[in-house]
Structure 1
Amino acid sequence: MAHDTAPSAEVPSGSIGRLVKDARARAGLSMRALAARCEVSQPFLSQIERGHTAPSLATLYRIAAALGVSVSSLLPEAVSTPDILHVDARGGRMLPVSPEADSASGRLLTIGAGHPLEVVEYRVRPGETLGGWFTGDGEQTLFVVEGRVTVELAGEGSWVLEAGGALTHPSNVPHRWSAGAEPCHLLLAVAHRTAGDSST
Structure 2
Amino acid sequence: MQTTNDSVELGQKIAAARNSKGFSLRQLAEKINATPSLLSQIERGLANPSLNTLRMIAVSLDIPLFSLFTEPTNVNKLITRANNRKKIIFPHSNWEYTLLSPDLSGAIEMVLMTIPPQSQSSEISLSHTGEEVAYVLSGTVILYLEDSMETLEKGDSVKITSGLRHLWKNDSDANVEVIFAVTPPSF
Tell me the TM-score normalized by structure 1.
0.48
* Percent identity between the two aligned chains: 19
Distance 1:169 1:85 in 2: 26
Q: Is 2:122 the counterpart of 1:131?
A: yes
Task: Mark the runs of 5 or more structure 1 residues left unpaired by the alignment.
Answer: 1-79, 194-200
CA contact (8 A) 1:148 1:179 kept: yes
Q: C-alpha displacement at 1:86, in angstroms?
A: 1.0
Give the structure 1 partner of residue 137 of structure 2. Answer: 145
| Number of equivalences | 111
Q: Show the 5 A alignment for 1:188-199.
A: 188-192=180-184
Give the structure 2 partner of residue 171 of structure 1. Answer: 162
Give the structure 2 partner of residue 86 of structure 1. Answer: 79
Distance 2:175 2:104 in 1: 32
Looking at CA atoms only, which structure, 1 or 2, has the larger radius of gyration? 2
Distance 2:139 2:76 in 1: 33
Runs of 4+ in 1 over 6 A off after TM superposition: none
Task: Assess, with a 3 A threshold, how the Cα gap between structure 1 residues 135 and 111 changes in structure 2: closer, same or farther.
Answer: farther
Give the structure 1 partner of residue 95 of structure 2. Answer: 104
What's the RMSD between the two structures over aligned residues?
2.6
Task: Mark the runs of 5 or more structure 2 residues left unpaired by the alignment.
Answer: 1-72
Letter in 1 for 2:78: L
Give the structure 2 partner of residue 66 of structure 1. Answer: none
Letter in 2 for 1:85: L
Q: Show the 5 A alignment for 1:112-127.
A: 112-127=103-118
Give the structure 2 partner of residue 186 of structure 1. Answer: 178
Distance 1:108 1:83 in 2: 17
Task: Assess, with a 3 A threshold, how the Cα gap between structure 1 residues 185 and 126 changes in structure 2: closer, same or farther.
Answer: same
CA contact (8 A) 1:140 1:168 kept: yes
Distance 2:104 2:111 in 1: 15
Q: C-alpha displacement at 1:179, in angstroms?
A: 1.3
Q: C-alpha displacement at 1:177, in angstroms?
A: 0.4
Distance 2:87 2:104 in 1: 18
- 1:90 match: secondary structure: helix
Letter in 2 for 1:88: R
CA contact (8 A) 1:102 1:127 kept: no
Q: C-alpha displacement at 1:138, in angstroms?
A: 2.4
Greater helix percent: which structure?
A: 2
Q: C-alpha displacement at 1:185, in angstroms?
A: 1.2
Distance 1:89 1:106 in 2: 14
CA offsets 1:83-117 (integer angstroms, 9 cap, x no match):
95211222221113x5x612411101225442211
Q: C-alpha displacement at 1:82, in angstroms?
A: 8.0
Task: Assess, with a 3 A threshold, how the Cα gap between structure 1 residues 123 and 169 changes in structure 2: closer, same or farther.
Answer: closer
Letter in 2 for 1:107: T
Give the structure 2 partner of residue 35 of structure 1. Answer: none
Q: C-alpha displacement at 1:139, in angstroms?
A: 1.6
